[in-house]
Structure 1
């Protein structure tokens, strides 16, 4: 009975594993490729899985045939003594080599192709490049995106054009993280001592199906809020991307807040937060001084801290106790602010918009 109970429990756990394996969101699935890199990686996954299934089926079939055809008929039977079969030895040596070649050739080819980032090193006379380059910097627990040729720095929301290669320089500012946009391409680490490089292509049709939004995650265990270290990707047409760049570049100084509350909030912000957070996209601020996310277009973002819906209630709660929502966050809490002051800071931040 105990054995039967164990088998029932094992069967239940197996069934739950199959059910849970189908859970999740389409925009976080690596099995629904939405770009050239993801397509190549997905094809290699299918190829390797097909080869493995083929080998398993062949072994199982041979095992069953041997089990029934060559089983002992009686206790007195002595099997035929065979010292070896050169033909069979050649077959089971050649076939694995052949299968390895089938897998190795496209894998090596794809690896060299995906590792080719030479276009991002070719600069024009004015120092700019013909391709889009984004410097990604990962910190506990937020993401910074710098467009060096466009002289723009933003955070938490990556904006990219579709149907063209986007090149990335990946770096970590404190511990090792990993940059990953599941439907668009495999992860790559952001190290503190070296810069990793990669490229991705965001397919316009897939992006449209996803509402022109993908979601990225940190794929390297980096601390207590690792699971909450998310970022948003807006994949738009080249025309819309150029417009976004133009609008961001037009922000030289933060506009004067429209309301009295927002003006009071700006004063509180300048006295308490400006040391870590910038409210202009210009990348003249040294990297070491950018200790918190850039807030230039905070009012347009969908999330506070990358995880909470962007509204005044969540924003005020985040300002008071960021560690409550992201344990281990380096942002200090401002619970000492009065409710009126929190309302004023929230009014100021919600008014930081570049595009309506």
Structure 2
């Protein structure tokens, strides 16, 4: 077998706890050596940063490619490839594509659409069409009557590595404030006040009937299958206690400082949205990711609905929160998410790890992704 070797020199290499000017050697898809100084051999990085490939645990971005307009459906493989190209060129080398399980009233998608997208992801991985390493994350809307039926469509699916338990009914978690819920959904669905009240009554009734049994059933199934469980939009200490009982490992988007602190103290990985970091606050009026970062309560960032926001936030958050170094910020988008889901072969630049790497130059406070490698192979 022919050995392949790539040398990257004159780089600012972002390690776990320091930035080292030097040279990086890639051999057969893995990091073989890291050394200080510049060599004559190899590709000149021109002083650019080289960071680990980004690990994205929760992106809703794929759905927009598949259903770009109401009632419009795009070819699922083409949708995956368009999504994949945008993800990879944003420096993301491992991505957990979030697919909804359990349909909201307003959803212009069905459970069959989600299974179709999962099939397209898996077929594209198998046929080596994609640039990033793709896994499936099931967003389980536990208040929905069809949640368990939709979840069953993924039985035996080995690419499913993560599932989150969420309840978007009014008065719950993300939308504990009915005013915020009204602003979001009345604007989104163009409802009258009377129609909105009826909508709320129905959503609340469904939540009361379905949420508790669905949480128990899905969390049990995920524990049996080794699927990493995440809570979603926890708002209280009681929510966090419930999450711990269910075997949750990642606290996604806690809506209050109280819930984030309880999650952190319990050893859960606290995940917040990179758009929240960049905007300076939550679009729903919940706790600011910057605030949690300043209090040491933030572990993981997710691009959520804007792929580029992940690398953007890694190079920005240190400007907003003085206590966060560049290596610590990069860990939030590489090492920490990888460890949270048990991917111990990536997320850090050190010998023996996968050569998932991103070359980045910062121009006018904006990171410019210049090159991306996955397992030593250039993909962007």
Q: Same fold (TM over 0.5)?
A: no
Q: Which structure is richer in relative contact order (CA contacts within 8 A, separation 6 or more)? A: 2
Q: TM-score, normalised by structure 1?
A: 0.24
Asked which structure has the greater CA Rg, the reply is: 1
Q: TM-score, normalised by structure 2?
A: 0.23
